[in-house]
Amino acid sequence: MLKKSLHIALLALVVSGCSSQTSSQEQSVAVYTKDQSKHAFAQAVKLSHEDEDYRILGRSFFSIPWVEAPSATTARDGLGPLFSANTCKHCHTNNGAGVAQKENGEIDRSLVMRLSIPFTKNLNNSLIMRNGFVPEPTYGGQLSFNGTSDVKYEGSVSISYTQIEGKYADNELFTLHQPHYKLTSLQYGDMQKDVNVAPHIALALIGLNAIEAIDTQEILKNEDITDTNKDGISGKANWVFNPETNTTQLGRYTWKAAAASVKQQVANAAHNDMGLSNPLYPGDNCTDKQEECLKAPKGRGEFDLPMDRIDAITYYLETLKIPAQRKGSNFEKGQEIFNALGCVKCHISSFITKTGETIHPYSDFLLHDMGTQLSDGHTIFLAEANEFRTPPLWGIGLYEKVSGKLNLLHDGRAKTVAEAILWHGGEAKTQNEAFKQLTKQDRDALIEFLKGI
């Protein structure tokens, strides 16, 4: 297989000149697509034949269902014994964000339940140092909705919403959806009493390699942990253990910025969401209280997902194009409002990557306290219960088209862009209040802008 550097060099040969935002012709991490269909997040950059084959291999591991071991017919065995879904694609349909509820009101698999118990931060404890949290002793770090033949699944969840009515300053009404979850059919007995259940919805897979190409210092520059400039907004980096490098690195991915690299997150997802053991997360996804799980038949190799397959999936995700901005007539006006309200303090509009390209993710990749109403109670590495990474907003106007539904915020509770803003609290309370004071015309312009970035 070709080395990554060669891949990038080949990539640059093909795409050089295609992107007007590229100042360096050496390596491009940001190639744009104008596709606005439901396949907008699944467009790949142009590659040589050999690299295209490798990309397709990665895509196949991402999208073709895995089966339980042992299987005579396929090299894709090793699913589970406990798992949430049998393909990556199940939760990241068309590479888009997850949806919270299915049409029949049942919870969708793409909304996972992270489980943890309280702990005191102690870096001498290797479990805390590596995971950043302490999993529930019987069920582990995530509730598995499925099990292989002889292994009981862990449980199910039911979801309901209370509607909360509110008013903008001009008296127009809005509705917020407060979620409620109930764990049902727990197959391994009660959970520890003080367990915390944090619902996290699948994220859209956009511009992952561009995010990786931002220099760490560029992100840290915006940190203001003690709010020295007194603007009410702090911004804190999450420092996380990355088994890929065996070091602590800046977290850039997931709702709580708990993953440092795309490869780490691919390996983590394979292990936790699909039960695929791999060199970065070895062993089966069973706790020592789950005997059937521990005894279940294993795949034939040392790992269900060896490193070359993790690399192929990572390559597939890193060769996707970024959706180009779609500027309507109110774009400029909406942008002015976005800046004036101070949204841009967290949703930072642009970064220059190490490759010299200007990208527009609308995120600072830092953690912010979003208030108690959004809290998920989950602490991971340096991220506290109320803290979340500012999610990038690029492509947000295409989410509904790509996923079939719009479910914003970490648990997918917000059904419109306006609702997502209206839930902002904590450090972003002022911006929420300012949003409510806008005229209808200005609110619409802001939202039109957001849908175009």
Q: How far is the CB of 124 from ligand HEC (least distance, A)?
A: 26
Residue among 7 and 345 whose Cβ is closer to ligand HEC: 345
Q: How far is the CB of 261 from ligand HEC (least distance, A)?
A: 9
Select from 253, 303, 331, 381 the one that contacts ligand HEC (CB under 6 A): 253
Count interface residues toward ligand HEC (CB under 6 A).
Answer: 56
Phi-psi region of 22 (alpha: psi -120 to 50; beta: other; left: phi over 0): beta
Select from 88, 219, 237, 320 the one that contacts ligand HEC (CB under 6 A): 88
Report yes or no: 414 and 177 within 8 Å, Cβ to Cβ: yes
Could you tell me the CA-to-CA distances from 225 to 141, 215, 236 in Å, in that order? 28, 19, 5
Residue among 14 and 239 whose Cβ is closer to ligand HEC: 239
Residue among 177 and 347 whose Cβ is closer to ligand HEC: 347
Report yes or no: 180 and 207 within 8 Å, Cβ to Cβ: no
Select from 8, 219, 262, 312 the one that contacts ligand HEC (CB under 6 A): 262
Residue among 23 and 245 whose Cβ is closer to ligand HEC: 245
Report yes or no: 69 and 295 within 8 Å, Cβ to Cβ: no
Q: How far is the CB of 17 from ligand HEC (least distance, A)?
A: 28
Q: How far is the CB of 276 from ligand HEC (least distance, A)?
A: 7
The yes or no reply on residue 201 touching ligand HEC (CB under 6 A) is yes
Residue among 18 and 220 whose Cβ is closer to ligand HEC: 220
Select from 11, 30, 85, 214 the one that contacts ligand HEC (CB under 6 A): 85
Q: Which residues, including other chains, have CB under 8 Å from residue 394's CB and lie 6 or more apart? A: 206, 207, 322, 323, 325, 360, 361, 362, 453
Could you tell me the CA-to-CA distances from 371 to 149, 223, 375 in Å, in that order? 43, 19, 6
Residue among 69 and 421 whose Cβ is closer to ligand HEC: 421
Assigned token pair, 232 = 């009410």
Interatomic CA distance for residues 412 and 132, integer angstroms: 24
Residue among 296 and 367 whose Cβ is closer to ligand HEC: 367
Report yes or no: 120 and 211 within 8 Å, Cβ to Cβ: no
Candidate segments 22-30, 133-141, 247-255, 280-288, binder of ligand HEC by CB under 6 A: 247-255
Interatomic CA distance for residues 273 and 410, integer angstroms: 17
Interatomic CA distance for residues 413 and 419, integer angstroms: 9
Q: Is 52 exposed, middle or buried (0-12, 13-18, 19+ CB in 10 A)?
A: middle
The amino acid at 311? D
Select from 183, 313, 359, 438 the one that contacts ligand HEC (CB under 6 A): 313
Select from 55, 59, 76, 90 the one that contacts ligand HEC (CB under 6 A): 90
The yes or no reply on residue 335 touching ligand HEC (CB under 6 A) is no
Q: Which residues, including other chains, have CB under 8 Å from residue 69's CB and lie 6 or more apart? A: 77, 78, 79, 297, 298, 299, 300, 304
Considering only residues 1 to 60 of the shown chain, the ones binding ligand HEC according to CB under 6 A are none
Backbone phi, psi, residue 403, to 5°: -95, -15
Considering only residues 408 to 447 of the shown chain, the ones binding ligand HEC according to CB under 6 A are 408-410, 417, 420-421, 424, 427-428, 431, 435
Residue keyed to tokens 């990355």: 242
Q: Which residues of 213-230 are buried (b: 16+ CB within 10 A; e: fewer)?
A: bbeeeebeebebeeeeee
CA angle 316, 307, 109 (to 5 degrees): 60
The yes or no reply on residue 263 touching ligand HEC (CB under 6 A) is no
Select from 40, 260, 269, 320 the one that contacts ligand HEC (CB under 6 A): 269
Select from 210, 237, 286, 346 the one that contacts ligand HEC (CB under 6 A): 346
Residue among 109 and 405 whose Cβ is closer to ligand HEC: 109
Interatomic CA distance for residues 116 and 133, integer angstroms: 7
Residue among 32 and 399 whose Cβ is closer to ligand HEC: 399
Interatomic CA distance for residues 62 and 402, integer angstroms: 17
Report yes or no: 38 and 50 within 8 Å, Cβ to Cβ: no
Candidate segments 12-20, 29-37, 279-287, 367-375, binder of ligand HEC by CB under 6 A: 367-375
Q: How far is the CB of 242 from ligand HEC (least distance, A)?
A: 14
Residue among 26 and 106 whose Cβ is closer to ligand HEC: 106
Could you tell me the CA-to-CA distances from 82 to 109, 129, 154 in Å, in that order? 14, 24, 8
| Site residues for ligand HEC per CB under 6 A | 62, 84-85, 88, 90-92, 109-110, 112, 114, 200-203, 205, 208, 233, 253-256, 262, 265-266, 269-270, 273-274, 313, 317, 341-343, 345-347, 368, 370, 374, 388, 390-391, 393, 408-410, 417, 420-421, 424, 427-428, 431, 435, 450
